[in-house]
Every structure is written in C-alpha cells, then in structure tokens.
Amino acid sequence: MTDAPRLSIREVRLSERPVAMRLPFQFGSTEVRRAAEIYCAVTVEVGSRPVEGVSAQLMVPRWFDKRAGLSNEETVDELRRIAEEAAAAAPGLSGTVAALSAELRAGVPPRLPDGTPALAAGFGPALLEMALIDAVCRSVDLPFWRAAKADLFGLAAHLPPDVSADDFVAALQRIGAPERIALRHTVGFDAPLLGRPEDAPDDGLPVTVAEVAEGTGITAWKIKLKGDPDADAGRLLALQQVLAGRMGGGVTLDANEQYAPDDFRVLLERLRAADLAEIATRIRFFEQPFAREVALRTENDFGVPLIIDESDDDIGSFATALALGWSGTSIKSCKGVLRALVNMARAGRSGAILSGEDLTCQPGLCWTQDTAMAAACGVVDVERNGHHFAGGLQGAAPAERAALQRLHPDIFRSENGRTVLNIDRGHVGIASLSRAGFGASAAVA
C-alpha cells in the first residue's frame, strides 16, 4: 500500500436543494412529503496543489433523531446545523482523511446542544468525510474502489481495537471494480399495492407495488413494519398475494425501532402460520426492530437474523451487536464511509451480514457515492428507490442533468422530464463508477 495523502482543508461550502416527494412516504412514526438535499464542496491542498471534492446527502426528517417533542422540520434544522458546525470546524485542519474524520467526529458533538443523538451528531462529519474522500480520489486520479483498496484514506492507522491490521488488509484485497448491482425496493406501510390512487401523479412512472414489480423486474423487497403484530401480519399477507412468484431476491423487514421485544416475539409466532409461508420463507433478516436505546442491550435469542441500523451510531456499535448475537449491520454513507470499510472487515472475519440500506439516496451524486461505497464493500443488493418517491435531480440545471447522464449512461436516463435509474431486470449497471473520483460528480467533472 502507498502512503495516504495528507490534506490541508482550506474552504468548505454548503448549499441545498429542496426535494418534493412525488409520492408521500411513511416510515417509522412520520410521513415525509418534502425534504432538502445538502451539498458539500471542499477545497483542500495536497502538497501545494488545490483540489476540489464534493458530497451530497438528503436531510431526511425523524430518522437521525426520533425524539417525540421534535417536528419533521426541527429534525431537518438540526441536521443543517450539524453540517454547518462541521463546516466551520474544518478549515485549517490537516491530515489523512481518516485522521481528519476522527478529529471532526470528536470536535463537532461538543458544539451541539445537550441531548443531540450520536447518530445525528455524526451527520456533518460524515458529509465532510465524503467530500474529502472525493478530493483524495481526484488528487490521485483514481476511482473510489481503487483508492479504498490501496487505503489512500489512511484508515489502517485508525482501526478500532477489535479489527486487526491483517483482517483489514484482507478485506481491502477483496474489493473489485463495480459492474452491476441489484436493487431492493422499499414498500412503505401505506404504499398502494394494486389500485392506482386517484391522486397519483400523472408522470408515467410506477406508483403501486404491482407496477414496480412489473415495470422493473425487481425481485428483492424491503418491507416497512409498523410495530403492531396484527397489522404487520395483515400487511404481509396482502403483499404476499401481490408479490407471489416475484420474491426470488428475498425479503427484508424493517421496523425502524418500533417494536418492543415481547411484541416482536408475537410477530415471529404469527409468521410461522401457514398462510404466510411463502413470504416468511423469503425473509433474509429483520432490520432494527428495537429502539436504539434498547437494541444494544438485547441479546438476539429470537431465532432469526437481526441487523442494526439506527443503533450503528459509533465505530464500536457493530462489534457490540455481534457480541450480543446480532447478525449484521447496514452501511450508509450518511453514517460514515470509513465506518463502512471497518465494518466490511468485521463482516469478512465473522461471516456477518453487511447490507446496503438507504432509500433517501437521490439520483445524482448522493446515489453514485453511496452505491460506489456499497459495491466496494460487497453488499448483495441495495435499497435504492429514492428515485421512486422523489428523485429526478430536482433543482438541477439542464446542463448538470446532461453531464450526469454523459458520465453515467449505464446508471441514469431521462424519462418524462426526470432523471431516473436505468433498471434492467432488477439491476443497474454501475461500471461508470470506475471513473476518477468518489461517484464522478457532474458538479466538478
């Protein structure tokens, strides 16, 4: 491995685009109809040479912070402030990406109000980390997967105690060029199954679950649960009828922290009934059934694979989950790309599940960066349907849309005025992610 470049951060610039949902989406305790996508641009010096790097994330409400007293808007404002604090703390810092990320993750939380959840406090540092990764990739003219394989982010010097250098190097050597990735479509608890609602958008794009299955060839499904065993069993029964014969890629169930352990046992018992046999036999894992305050104090004696998501708010969270018998974790760039690489090493050593979960990834830079990370980490398939609920590169100029499709013709195409994914039999070609940079953004290409 070559030495990781040292960066000196000179400037950080933040900007936003509003995102209006074409379809409302309900997850956890909230319904999302609008959000904002935040963009980060950094100018760094590598040696004496200035280099730009960029990143993007959707500021989704009430996922990072589910405290009952906060509105959707207040949780987005919280993420905005955390990004601003990270941007204010960064100029003048120097080091490898891993060293800079560690410094920001230590320095930003004390600048935030008491009670800010750790998951939310990491949002700004993760956004900056992604832009710094892009800058390193551009400085050496390499795509993300090659830079990660060579550890040009300097992560080997910042490994947690449970990850050995040998395990980390072995994991990096398994990284290969991106080629094609399977999609897993998220079904919200209120998503229409067959009948197209009267108020559905007249944009020629799929609305119902049946239309998605028919039009995309997707066979992997992520189903949102409500936390009520009877309601969830009834919903799964209805979905089983719609998806019969179309679940070859498996099913994952996401409770977004809404289950109490005793109620979860009731759901598992209900899933053993004969009428749910087809969908039950397709279940690959259950994602974050319990609140983050409870999950990492709960042994997995449920007899089913459980993975953490919201509980993954610290570099050590996955190790704690594994010690409790949990089966895996999700990786998301909004939680940290470097954390994903560390967790890849943990999963490689233990045989644990590493899943790609993030429906908030919008077409464009957010999608390409998160997918480049997931592909490098070897996930089986990715939750990627931000394009279904919103997407379309809202607010982007025609020139940016055209540049994005020129850079990534295998990933994106234009349809009815929106920038949408090129889905072929449930997959998207991603070989264009081998361009230099992290996600090869049209913003700096």
- In degrees, to the nearest 5, what angle opens at C-alpha 332 toward C-alphas 10 and 407? 65
139: its two tokens? 């400085």
List CB contacts of 350: < 8 A, sequence separation 6 or more: 322
Is a pLDDT exceeding 70 seen at residue 142? Answer: yes
* C-alpha span between 142 and 435 (Å, rounded): 7
Strands 412-415 and 418-421: antiparallel
pLDDT at 36 (0 to 100): 92
- Per-residue pLDDT at 1: 65
| Higher per-residue pLDDT: 165 or 202 | 165
Top-confidence residue, 334 or 445: 334
Confidence of residue 141 (pLDDT cuts 50, 70, 90): very high
In DSSP terms, 419 is beta-bridged to 414
Domains of the chain (ranges; CATH) run 7-160 (3.30.390.10), 180-434 (3.20.20.120)
Strand partners, 329: 308, 354
Q: What is the tens place of the pLDDT at every residue in 272-329?
A: 999 999 999 999 999 999 999 999 999 999 999 999 999 999 999 999 999 999 999 9
How far apart CA 387 and CA 354 sit, in angstroms, is 23
* Strand, coil or helix: 119: helix
More confident residue, 418 or 101: 101
Predicted confidence band at 33 (pLDDT cuts at 50, 70, 90)?
A: confident
Per-residue model confidence as pLDDT tens digits over 45-95: 998 899 999 999 999 999 999 999 999 999 999 999 999 999 999 999 999
d(CA 436, CA 295): 39
**Confidence band of 170 (pLDDT split at 50, 70, 90):** very high
Kindly give, in sequence order, each residue whose CB lies less than 8 Å from that of residue 316, ignoring residues fewer than 6 positions away: 160, 162
pLDDT at 443: 65
For helices 97-107 and 337-350, the axis angle rounded to 10 degrees is: 110
User: What is the reported pLDDT for 445?
Assistant: 47
**With pLDDT > 70 as the criterion, what percentage of the chain qualifies?**
98
CA 101 to CA 113: how far, in whole Å?
21
Residue closest to 63 by CA, chosen among 123, 6, 17: 123
User: Which string of DSSP letters, residue by residue, matches 219-273?
Assistant: -EEEEE--S-HHHHHHHHHHHHHHSTT--TTEEEEE-TT---HHHHHHHHHHHTS
pLDDT score of 268: 98
Nearest-10 crossing angle of helices 229-242, 209-216 = 40
Cα–Cα distance, 222 to 391 (Å, whole number)? 19
How many residues are given for the chain?
445
CB 95 within 8 A of CB 105: no
Each residue's pLDDT tens digit, 348-398: 999 999 999 998 898 899 999 999 999 999 998 999 988 888 867 877 888
Quote the pLDDT of residue 157.
97
Mean pLDDT for the chain? 94
Residue in 16, 78, 2, 12 with CA at minimum distance from that of residue 44: 12
Q: Is the dihedral of CA 178, 429, 53, 121 positive or negative?
A: negative
Of 183, 224, 121, residue with least CA distance to 375: 183
Residues 6+ apart with CB under 8 A from 62: 28, 29, 30, 70, 72, 75
pLDDT digits (tens, 9 = 90+) for 241-256: 999 999 999 999 999 9
Give the distance between the most distant pair of CA atoms in the chain: 67
Give 314-346 pLDDT, tens digit per residue: 999 999 999 999 999 999 999 999 999 999 999
| pLDDT greater than 80 at residue 149 | yes
The DSSP annotation for 369-392 comes to HHHHHHHHHT-SEEE--HHHHS-S
Contact 124, 41 (CB under 8 A): no
Average pLDDT over residues 227-236: 97
Amino acid at 440: A
Closest of 345, 350, 340 to residue 373, by C-alpha: 340
Distance CA 254, CA 249 (A): 16
pLDDT digits (tens, 9 = 90+) for 173-229: 999 999 999 999 999 988 999 988 888 888 888 999 999 999 999 999 999 999 999
The pLDDT assigned to 118 comes to 97
Helix axes 123-139 and 97-107, enclosed angle (nearest 10)? 160
Asked whether 96 and 154 are in contact (CB, 8 A), the reply is: yes
